[in-house]
Amino acid sequence: MKNVNAIFAILLFVGCFWACKPEVKEVRLMTYNVKNGLGMDDSTAYARTASVILKENPDVVAIQELDSVTGRSGGAYVLGELAKETKMHDTYAPAIDFDGGKYGIGILSKEEPVNVYRHALPGREEARTMLLVEFPHYIYVCMHLSLTEEDAMASLPIIREETARFQKPVFIAGDWNVTPDMPFIQDIQQEFTFLTDTTQFTFPADTPDCTLDYIAARKVGVDLIEYASHVVEAPVESDHRPVVVDVKWK
């Protein structure tokens, strides 16, 4: 009887151990400034742009420079075109009215979002926006920051406030129009850990000589286990090269 009780106790302990052990989550993140599908060869081809995404097979993609039914895009909703090609969910955030339609940013995702939030960011050359998309286990944020350094810095308090509202992990991504040596990158590292290698160049796509595209994780709310990143070899499809991160956390 004692042996039976001992075996039962061991099984109970093992069961409790596995039940209480934190579940490991993993996701493949991507960010890509697609320039409306316009390549370095001055040719627009949404299927070609989508093929870059499909080859990497990300779970979620932050996308910048997207027209929605503008004259420039010939009336096309560019994010929708990419969504059809990749068979992903599209979430759009217009930043400005442009050429009879809208211009902004978006997120493609394999999972359907549970919530979507949009927030204006400063930009004196053109208004900017931040798109926050919530999934069951994390938040993904797309940002295309101002070309003006002062406006990028003025975006920091907004980014901090909006991302601090969530209890789950928050990942931020996009073309931030700042290089690693600029104050914005130094300051944002107080709250965020960079998952991309800031020494790997992303712009211009044909002969990259600087880094403008990033993915980072908010330090609070995520226990990172491991992560690895790479810049995608895509020299023609846009003027930026996309960046991909594989991340695991508990």
Please write the tens of the pLDDT for every residue from 115-129: 999 999 999 999 999
* 12 part of a folded domain: no
- 15 has pLDDT over 60: no
* 227 part of a folded domain: yes
- 13 has pLDDT over 50: no
Q: Which two tokens stand for residue 115?
A: 């919530």
DSSP 40-69: TTS-B-HHHHHHHHHHH--SEEEEEEEEES
Within 10 Å of residue 99's Cβ, how many Cβ atoms? 12
Given the DSSP bridges, would you call strands 128-134 and 139-143 parallel, antiparallel or unpaired? antiparallel
Average pLDDT over residues 177-186: 97
| pLDDT digits 0-9 by tens, 193-232 | 999 999 999 999 999 999 999 999 999 999 999 999 999 9
* 157 part of a folded domain: yes
Q: Which two tokens stand for residue 80?
A: 């929708």
* 231 part of a folded domain: yes
What is the reported pLDDT for 142? 98
130: which DSSP letter? E
Number of domains making up the chain: 1
Q: Which residue has the higher pLDDT, 12 or 97?
A: 97
Average pLDDT over residues 235-241: 98
What is the reported pLDDT for 118? 98
pTM of the model: 0.91
What is the reported pLDDT for 90? 98
Distance of CA 69 to the CA centre of its chain: 23
Average pLDDT over residues 109-118: 98
Instruction: Please give the share of the chain, as a percent, with pLDDT higher than 90.
Output: 91
What is the reported pLDDT for 3? 56
* 11 part of a folded domain: no
What is the reported pLDDT for 70? 97
Give the structural domain span for 101.
23-249
Kindly indicate the confidence band of residue 7, based on its pLDDT and cuts at 50, 70 and 90.
low
- Mean pLDDT for the chain? 93
* 8 part of a folded domain: no
| pLDDT digits 0-9 by tens, 19-60 | 456 799 999 999 999 999 999 999 999 999 999 999 999 999
Instruction: Please give the share of the chain, as a percent, with pLDDT higher than 70.
Output: 91
Average pLDDT over residues 127-152: 98
Identify the CATH number of the domain in which residue 206 sits. 3.60.10.10
The Cα–Cα gap between 128 and 146 comes to: 7
* 15 part of a folded domain: no
The Cα–Cα gap between 74 and 95 comes to: 19
- 77 has pLDDT over 90: yes
* 13 part of a folded domain: no
Q: Which residue has the higher pLDDT, 166 or 1?
A: 166
